[in-house]
Amino acid sequence: MRVAAMAVLIAALRSFTPPALHVCPFHWLTGRPCPFCGLTRAAFELANGHWRTALAFNALSPLAFTMIFAALWKIPGRSRLWTAGLAAFAVYGICRLAWPEAARLWPTMTFADRVAGQ
């Protein structure tokens, strides 16, 4: 059942396009990205195997993807993964707020740019 749920999630991510609308309330209020900004678009990119683009959207997207799928299984290290992952997102969020210009150093590419380039 869990493998089927994972397969359905990946198939859905591969078949749909990510939303173009930014719905983050923190970003809307402050104009700065939160630790989770870009994770939806990054999940679509990871499901399609586009790691570089996913990292451009959110540097911790592979960790978030792993955390989500670890939640489906009762593995011994799951709680440690979640604890370390949430700590990493907290540090990442502080860094994003303290140095917003560092986000511009990542090579960014929108979904539309990637589709147009193919």
Nearest to 43 by CA among 18, 8, 20: 18
Residue 103, H or E segment: none
pLDDT in tens, 3-35: 787 787 778 777 777 666 667 788 778 877 788
User: What is the reported pLDDT for 82?
Assistant: 92
Alpha helices in 1-118 (DSSP H): 2-15, 25-30, 39-47, 51-57, 61-70, 78-98, 111-117
* N-terminal to C-terminal alpha carbon distance within the chain: 35
Distance, in Å, from the CA atom of 75 to the CA atom of 81, rounded to the nearest integer, reads: 10
Where is mean pLDDT largest: 28-37, 52-61, 91-100, 105-114?
Answer: 52-61
Predicted TM-score (pTM) of this structure: 0.68
